[in-house]
Every structure is written in C-alpha cells, then in structure tokens.
Amino acid sequence: MAKIVVVTSGKGGVGKTTTTAALGAALARSGQNVAVVDFDVGLRNLDLIMGVERRVVFDLINVIQGEATLTQALIRDKRCETLSILPASQTRDKDALTADGVARVMQELQERFDWILCDSPAGIERGAQLAMHHADHAVIVTNPEVSSVRDSDRIIGMLDSQTARAKQGETVEKHLLVTRYDPSRAARGEMLSVEDVVGILSLPLLGVVPESEDVLKASNVGAPVTLASPESAPAAAYFEAVERLKGKDIPVNIPTEKRGLFDRIFKKRGS
C-alpha cells in the first residue's frame, strides 16, 4: 500500500513546494514510484518548480470532475521516470476540490505508486485540510522564525484532530523539517536554533535544510534541487530526510557555522 505524505506548514513561503519537489525526486531516485500532487488550486506552482509547466494538459480538478482520467493528467518526469506529477488547476475555483473527489483520486493513486506526496496550500482552510486528510505521514516545513513556528504549531493541532487518521483514533506520523536555516546567524543568537524549534514544537526532526543559493538556482531552471545539484548541502539534507522517511534511523546532520581560523580569532560573537 502506498504511503501518503502531506507537506504542510500553515505559513506561506517557507519552502513547501521546494520540499515536495526535492523529496519526491530523491525518493524516485532511490527506485520508488512517486507521485507528487499539487493541492494549491488557483495558485499552482509545483509544475513550475518541477519544470513541467508547458506539459500540463489536464489537472487534479479535471480528474475529480471526470473530465480526464488520472493517466491523462499525470505528467511523467523526463529526468526521472519513476516520478510523476499531478498538477493543480490554475483557473478553477478551489471549491471544485471536493472531499469525495480527493478520496477517489487518492485511492487510485495508491494503487499505482509507492509514495504520494501532497503539496499543501498555505493557510488552514479547506485546501490545506483536504491535502492533509488522507495522510499517513506529515512533513511540517518550518523556518526558524516566530511566525512560521506559531503557524506550524497550529497545523500540528489540525493534524491531530481533523485528519482521517485522527478521526479513527490513530495518529499521523509527524516529522519536522527546518528549512532556510542559517547556522552562523543561529550561532550569533540572531536566529532560533534547531534545538529551540524542536523544543518548542516537540516533533522528531526529519532534517535541517540550510539556506542556500542552490535552491533558487534549481527553481530558476525548473528542477528539484535534489536533481539540479545533488551534491549541494540542501540536496544532501533532502536525501537524508528521505532515508529517515523510509524508516532508517540515522542521526540528523545539523549544519554548523563554517568559519575560518581568521574569523574565529578576530570576530567576536555578538548578540
């Protein structure tokens, strides 16, 4: 049975779509059959980040409304043949996303894939609720910043009360992914540290993705960072995260400050 993973955060702009693309590609690279599904109806972007924006013919809403089959709507990635994307609709109203329709699509996807990654829209409205509803796992993407941590806490509350699993008395397995982390600012006390965020949200850590130029470069060219620059620090964090998602117990690599001897001698640690 396929595992359904929701990538969620509450707050916008923290890296949900980047993370969905990067984790999806990393999972697919390891030989798994993966579908990434964009739930952001009206503001789709997963297609653009994955570089398939010009190949979109049908979308999730078309499938839900019976205007296209799942096979017609799924776009297979050209770089990685076990990776497919189901885009969201750009023109339709988000009310077109129905609970029954989503349930049907999820069931059909589960028959064909090993992993289904749902890219949640920002917010706590219907779109976000439907994206998380069927999830077995949740990746909570959080920036080390007060508003992001607060919104993540809210989303955690929703995962514990409003998902299908929660309603059956089970739990969604939650994982924390800290993104846009700047170890030197954290060391100077200018940014919440990973320990702070983990302590406040009390979730197991899936990974720490450092702030990096490589992420923007990858989105510029329309490739998940794990495919565009697999040797980069953010890609390494995503590859590790995937191993943990698969159940491997490996220690989390927390990026540390890279400072030369000169800096260490002459730069005082400010506050």
Partner 1 sequence: MSFLDSFFNKKRPATSSNVARDRLQILLAHERQAQAGGDSTLLRTLHAEILEVLARHVSVDEDNVRVKLDRGQKCSKLEIDIQVPQSGLRAQVSTVTPNDEL
176 conformational bin, left if phi > 0, alpha if psi -120 to 50, beta if neither: beta
User: Tokens 């607060």 appear where?
Assistant: 150
Q: Which residues pair with 11 in a beta bridge?
A: none
Least distance to partner 1, CB of residue 124, Å: 11
What 3-state class would DSSP assign to 122?
coil
**Which CB atom, from 11 or from 94, has the smaller least distance to partner 1?**
11
Q: 59 to 98, contacts with partner 1 by CB under 8 A?
A: none
CB of 150 to partner 1, least distance (A): 7
Q: How far is the CB of 146 from partner 1 (least distance, A)?
A: 5
Task: Please give the Cα distance from 144 to 196 (Å, whole number).
Answer: 9
Q: Which amino acid does the sequence have at 249?
A: D
Would you say 51 or 255 has its CB closer to partner 1?
255
Contact at 8 Å (CB) between 176 and 142? yes
Of positions 52, 86, 88, 149, contacts partner 1 by CB under 8 A: 149
Q: Which is nearer to partner 1, 110 or 193 (CB)?
A: 193
CA end-to-end span of the chain: 50
CB of 204 to partner 1, least distance (A): 14
Listed residue (174, 254, 223, 240) closest to 30, CA to CA: 240
**Phi then psi dihedrals of residue 26, to 5 deg:** -65, -40
Rounded to a whole number of angstroms, the minimum distance from the CB of residue 176 to partner 1 is 14
- For residue 150, state whether it binds partner 1 (rule: CB under 8 A): yes
* Structure letter (DSSP) for residue 69: -
Per-residue x/- mask for partner 1, residues 180 to 219, rule CB under 8 A?
------x-xxxxxx--x--xx-------------------
Amino acid, res. 189: G
153-182 positions binding partner 1, by CB under 8 A:
153-154, 157
- How far apart are CB 161 and partner 1 at their closest, in Å? 9
The angle formed by the CA atoms of residues 30, 31 and 35, to the nearest 5 degrees, is 100
Min separation Cβ 257 and partner 1, Å: 14
Contact 8, 132 (CB under 8 A): yes
Q: Is 129 in the site for partner 1 (CB under 8 A)?
A: no
When the beta carbons of 153 and 257 are compared against partner 1, the nearer one is: 153
Options 43, 57, 99, 146; binder of partner 1; rule CB under 8 A: 146
Question: Which CB, 31 or 270, lies closer to partner 1?
Answer: 270
Shortest approach of partner 1 to residue 131 CB, angstroms?
20
The residue count of the chain comes to 271
Residues with Cβ within 8 Å of 96's Cβ and at least 6 positions away in sequence, in order, are 41, 61, 64, 65, 89
Q: How far apart are CA 228 and CA 49, in angstroms?
A: 11
Question: Judged by CB under 8 A, how many residues of this single chain contact partner 1?
Answer: 18
Beta-bridge mates of residue 178: 142, 208
Q: Which is nearer to partner 1, 75 or 198 (CB)?
A: 198
For residue 36, give both structure tokens: 């990434």
Query: Where on the chain is the footprint of partner 1 (CB under 8 A)?
Result: 145-146, 149-150, 153-154, 157, 186, 188-193, 196, 199-200, 271
